[in-house]
Structure 1
Amino acid sequence: MKQLAIILISLFSSLTVLAQQERSYVKKGNDLYQQKKYREAEEAYRKAVAKKEQNIPGNFNLGDALYKQKQLDKAGEQFAKIAESSNSKTVAAGAYHNLGNTLLEGKKLEESIEAYKKALLNNPKDDETRYNLAYAQEMLKKQQQQNKNNKDKNKDQNKQDQNKQNPNNKDQDKKNNDKNKDQSKQNQDKKDQQKQQQQQDPNNISKEDAQRMLDALNNDEKQTQDKLKGKKARGTSGHPAKDW
């Protein structure tokens, strides 16, 4: 029993020393980070993580140090690893948020949007993540519109280049346009001719025209009867009331 107690005390002492070393490396890394010595800070954080792989502050700050050095792929991998391995919603939300920032910095807009959404699933009350999500969505919308404009511009430019290389294309386009205009004119002339024939021949009118004429005659007759009944009936003047 005494020997077992000695072993337990020794093990506890070793763990205490390791924990102190972890904290010491994290603190050193934080100091270097504040001094903007990101490379040195990265080294200190790596030593802290080496002592304990699940060291959350060390892992988070390591990702931040990589981000500051523009090592975006490595930073993204670091944050993704934290998010996927953590059992804490708070930790996962923070990791996904940082992953979103890293992807956004790398112009990977669609991926950053997905990361922000995962962050909000773990912490729906995070206004900063919600703002970043809206910003990334707006940037993606502008990017898609710009791509569409560039595509249309390239299409027009290619057509112009083809016309320059083969003038016959331009002539063919002109012929097609002229042909369409002639066809439209012929159709209009045909309609005018049919209308004129109907006017000349009262017996040759369409069913719709006949109904319109009958309605007009009935309306004239009704107005005449109203006038005969009395001159006091008048329509109201002014603007009608708004139906709110």
Structure 2
Amino acid sequence: MVNSKYIISVLCLLMPLIVCGQETDRDYIRKGNRLFKDSVYVDAEINYRKALDVNPQSTVSMYNLGNSLSQQRKAEEAIKQYDNAAKIEKNKAKLAKIHHNKGVLFQAMQDYAKAIEAYKMSLRNNPHDDETRYNLALAQKLLKDPPPQQDQRNQQNQNQDQQDQQDQDKQQQDQQKQDDNSMSKENAEQMLNSVMQDEKDVQDKVKKQMVIQGGKLEKDW
């Protein structure tokens, strides 16, 4: 029979090895950061989620996960992660970054009112951030005077294309008229030259006839 004390001793020796073999949330965060730096955003997202599985209260994992989702153009999912981080995070500098990134996403979505609110929250936590202050001013301007929507831009582009086509057609018509006028002038000159040549031939014949008959011309043609 195996001594129970021996089993306990072996387990005590193995426990540190088992614990050492487990990765912490920081390990996953570091992996995610390396992948994020290399623009491998999907794999970075996977590692940040693993970090959250290990430590669901990690605001760093939430924030970085939001950034990786943002790079994949998953704006709504990214904002959700930023919101989760903002509920827990106490550090003002980090809160400023969280709300700043939310503002950038809202602005990209053309939700300027929410972008303004996010930028203001960011500045409350870090009043000295010039970039956030600039973004706030821009969002306020866009809210007051929004850019045309996609349908309007498409219509404007279509109208511009039609105008360009009309201008091109007019240029072609003008060129054709010039070519026609040029051809008409050339034809007229050719006809005149032909008539003059015929007259000259007739005059030459008359001259020859007069020479034969002993006459004399007072003027040359």
Give TM-score scaled by structure 2 length: 0.55
- Per-residue CA deviations over 1:75-94 (Å, capped at 9, x if unaligned) read 01111121122222222211
Q: Tell me which amino acid in the other structure corresponds to 1:94.
A: K
Tell me if 1:120 matches 2:123. Answer: yes
Partner SS, residue 54 of structure 1: coil
Q: Which runs of 5+ in 1 are unaligned?
A: 1-6, 151-244
Separation in 2 of the partners of 1:134 and 1:115? Answer: 12
Is the radius of gyration larger for structure 1 or structure 2? 2
Tell me if 1:33 matches 2:36. Answer: yes
- Per-residue CA deviations over 1:189-240 (Å, capped at 9, x if unaligned) read xxxxxxxxxxxxxxxxxxxxxxxxxxxxxxxxxxxxxxxxxxxxxxxxxxxx
- Of 68-77 and 122-131, more deviation after overlay is shown by 122-131
Aligned length: 138
How far off is 1:57 after superposition? 2.3
Tell me if 1:109 matches 2:112. Answer: yes
Match of 2:142 in 1: 139
Tell me if 1:69 matches 2:72. Answer: yes
Q: Which runs of 5+ in 2 are unaligned?
A: 1-11, 153-221
Return closer, same or farther for 1:123/1:17 CA change in 2, 3 Å cut-off. Answer: farther
Match of 2:166 in 1: none
Please, which of 67, 74, 82 is the counterpart of residue 85 of structure 2? 82
Return closer, same or farther for 1:37/1:93 CA change in 2, 3 Å cut-off. Answer: same
Tell me if 1:98 matches 2:108. Answer: no
Match of 1:56 in 2: 59
CA contact (8 A) 1:83 1:93 kept: no
Return closer, same or farther for 1:132/1:26 CA change in 2, 3 Å cut-off. Answer: same
Instruction: Show the 5 A alignment for 1:189-228.
Output: none
- Per-residue CA deviations over 1:135-166 (Å, capped at 9, x if unaligned) read 1112222218x69xx9xxxxxxxxxxxxxxxx
Give TM-score scaled by structure 1 length: 0.50
Match of 1:186 in 2: none
State, as a whole percentage, how many aligned pairs show the same letter: 36
Separation in 2 of the partners of 1:77 and 1:109? Answer: 18
Q: Tell me which amino acid in the other structure corresponds to 1:64.
A: N
Partner SS, residue 53 of structure 1: coil
Q: Tell me which amino acid in the other structure corresponds to 2:46.
A: E
